[in-house]
Amino acid sequence: MLNSLNSGVAGLHAFQQKLDVIGNDIANSNTVAYKSARTTFADAFSQTVLGGGDASGSLQIGSGVVTSAITTDFSRGSYQSTGRAEDVFINGDDGFFIVKDAGGDEFATRAGDFKIDDQGYLTTNDGYRVQGYSNQVAVGAAFSTRGDIRIWDDPANRPVQSDPLATARSFNINSDGRVRMHLSDGVEYDCGQILLQKFMDVNQLEKQGNNLYGNLVNAGPLGGDVANSAEPGTNGMGSLKSEALEMSNVDLAGEFADLITTQRGFQANARIITTSDEVLQEVVNLKR
């Protein structure tokens, strides 16, 4: 068996994986907060034909290529204004929203296309509740309770100076994550605060689909615990910008250029297999 056959097959497999990665990036070029991936190759184990005991050195023949890593580019994408108060953009490369599902499992995400459910909770489009400080406080007071953020007007927790007949008019999310409630009588107060989490090794995060990342503990969260979320704009994390969304960071021009070189690499490895087959055919025909 010719070693070139094995090398050709290994090359086809590696370039096929790279094509899959490129195809997924292009497919998600308009996905909110999607992070593109990069495929890295490494040479495979080499067969030593002759040891290096003499002056001529060792003779080694490689056995092809392997995919050494598929890493995610977590650089910030551009933002797009939406005009929706529930949409939030993280203005910085570091920082993730933390969301929790109905079973209590927490995930990280950069996608801030949130909505308010029928109970007033700020959630993802799949119903995962955004985490932060959930208790309502008076002007200038400090938050203390971490949990699901609920954007609603609780008359029992209104500032004392507000009109009991006043109604909730609107809300906005400040750059520090505070959710500011506006009443019809002009009184304002904070009803919660969105917190962010930072990870030491973001490439330990695992994509879970729906713009979510898992494996948070192994990624090294701030303070060693996912619950140790911090205020936006602190600990090197970005501040928040409301009424805007982070877009995909996929560079389409670069992806298409990479697609061409990857296709040529795939074709070249296919040609190696074809040529190796022709050589073997010649060997078989020597007997005739």
**Residue (of 288, 283, 255, 199) closest to 5 by Cα position:** 283
Q: What is the pLDDT of residue 25?
A: 97
Q: Which of the residue ranges 23-27, 64-68, 149-153 would you say has the lowest mean pLDDT?
A: 149-153
How would you write 111-176 as a 3-class SS string? CCECEECCCCEEECCCCCEEEEECCCECCCCCCCCEEECECCCCHHHCCCCCCCCCCEEEEEECCC
**Is 231 a residue whose pLDDT tops 90?**
yes
Asked if 115 and 151 touch (Cβ cutoff 8 Å), the reply is: no
Beta bridge partners of 91: 239
Q: What is the pLDDT of residue 273?
A: 92
Using 50, 70 and 90 to split pLDDT, how confident is the model at 160?
Answer: confident
Domain ranges across the chain: 3-72+251-285, 79-246
Q: What is the pLDDT of residue 97?
A: 98
Average pLDDT of span 172-176? 95
Q: What is the pLDDT of residue 280?
A: 86
Using 50, 70 and 90 to split pLDDT, how confident is the model at 54?
Answer: low
Contacts of 223 (CB under 8 A, 6+ apart): none
Distance CA 213, CA 211 (A): 7
Q: Using the structure block, give the residue that is written with the tokens 């020597």.
A: 286
Exposure string (b/e) for 188-197, b if CB count within 10 Å is 16 or more?
ebbbbbbbbb
**Is 213 a residue whose pLDDT tops 60?**
yes
Q: What is the pLDDT of residue 6?
A: 87
**Is 149 a residue whose pLDDT tops 90?**
yes
What distance lies between CA 150 and its chain's CA centroid? 25
**Is 55 a residue whose pLDDT tops 60?**
no
Say which residue, 149 or 136, is predicted with more confidence.
Answer: 149
Distance CA 38, CA 18 (A): 8
Using 50, 70 and 90 to split pLDDT, how confident is the model at 111?
Answer: very high
Using 50, 70 and 90 to split pLDDT, how confident is the model at 4?
Answer: confident
